[in-house]
């Protein structure tokens, strides 16, 4: 038995806004009964683009029913522009949380809302799960959806991706592609977060950032060659380090300091930094 919150059980046993809506202004249909989850979301929208009513029909588990019920309660009374910013995490949070293995139900709700808004704006009824190239054949999940759930939910493993969108939960033949998507998205996020800070750093901030970059960007590369590095001192723009392991006796250690260590610190900390090796007594 899943560890459901009281609010999830409430929306499962007493779902709000279930049923068919006559002459809806927008309809979003996502998922597939063949894959185990399907959701149809119907909206009434007034002349000010306010969602005045919402109904749903779903085929799925307790989490799917609760997520759809919660979504309709969240968006009623909202402007379309506000509703467009609703994330799957917002739906899960409204319910007091969902088991991670059931987070794909909140994603299904977000997809249905986006499909309905798209239908209202353009008249198109293309399912969101058909956009992009199919990666998981078993559940019909595309590369775009995998990339999106990884990015929005900060996912790190194939198991988490399966929990959020079912991809990889069948034969396992797509695991390699899923891992490649995870690695690419997380690499992009890491690069973005590592951009050189704007403005002047205090001495303490500079030392802390230099140490962080050494630990995360420089040391892993040196350790691949059985080397290591230690931060000794920071004096203004001068960074004094000591090479350890195989790097300490390497005949091209000067190149390593200039073209790798110094280049990384200039990229992520400050472009005026000069790296020097600790002078041996």
CB atoms within 10 A of CB 56: 26
Place of tokens 């399907």: 38
The catalytically annotated residue of 35, 136, 165, 174 is 35
Tell me the pairing of strands 51-59 and 227-235.
Answer: unpaired
What's the CA gap between 17 and 37, in Å, rounded?
18
Is 247 part of the annotated catalytic residue set? no
The catalytically annotated residue of 61, 105, 138, 174 is 105
Q: Please give the angle made by the CA atoms of 216, 222 and 226, to the nearest 5 degrees.
A: 130
Starting at the earlier edge strand, list the strands of the sheet with 26-32: 26-32, 37-45, 51-59
Alpha-carbon separation of residue 237 from 71, 128, 254, 273 (angstroms): 53, 51, 18, 5
What's the CA gap between 263 and 271, in Å, rounded?
9
Is 35 part of the annotated catalytic residue set? yes
Instruction: Give me the active site residues, please.
Output: 35, 105
């Amino acid at each position: 038995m899943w560890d459901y919150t009281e609010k999830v059980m409430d929306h499962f046993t007493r779902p709000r806004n279930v049923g068919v809506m006559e002459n809806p202004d927008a309809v979003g249909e996502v998922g597939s009964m063949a894959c185990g989850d399907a959701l149809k979301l119907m909206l009434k929208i007034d002349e000010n683009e306010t969602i005045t009513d919402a109904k749903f029909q779903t085929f799925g588990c307790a989490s799917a029913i609760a997520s759809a019920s919660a979504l309709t309660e969240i968006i009623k009374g909202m402007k379309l522009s506000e509703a467009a910013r609703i994330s799957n995490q917002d739906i899960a949070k409204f319910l007091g949380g969902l088991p991670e293995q059931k987070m794909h139900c909140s994603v299904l709700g977000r997809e249905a809302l986006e499909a309905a808004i798209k239908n209202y704006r353009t008249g198109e009824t293309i399912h969101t799960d058909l956009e992009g190239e199919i990666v998981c054949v078993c559940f019909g999940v595309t590369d775009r959806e995998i990339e999106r759930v990884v990015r929005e939910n900060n996912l790190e493993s194939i198991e988490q991706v399966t929990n959020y969108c079912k991809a990889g939960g069948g034969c396992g033949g797509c695991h390699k592609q899923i891992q490649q998507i995870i690695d690419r998205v997380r690499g992009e996020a890491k690069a973005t977060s590592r951009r050189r800070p704007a403005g002047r750093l205090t001495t303490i901030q500079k030392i802390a950032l230099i140490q962080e970059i050494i630990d995360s960007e420089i040391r892993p590369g040196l350790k691949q060659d059985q080397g290591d590095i230690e931060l000794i001192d920071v004096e203004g723009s001068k960074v004094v380090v000591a090479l350890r392991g195989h790097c300490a006796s390497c005949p091209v250690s000067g190149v390593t300091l200039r073209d790798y260590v110094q280049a990384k610190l200039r990229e992520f900390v400050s472009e005026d930094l000069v790296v020097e090796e600790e002078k041996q007594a």
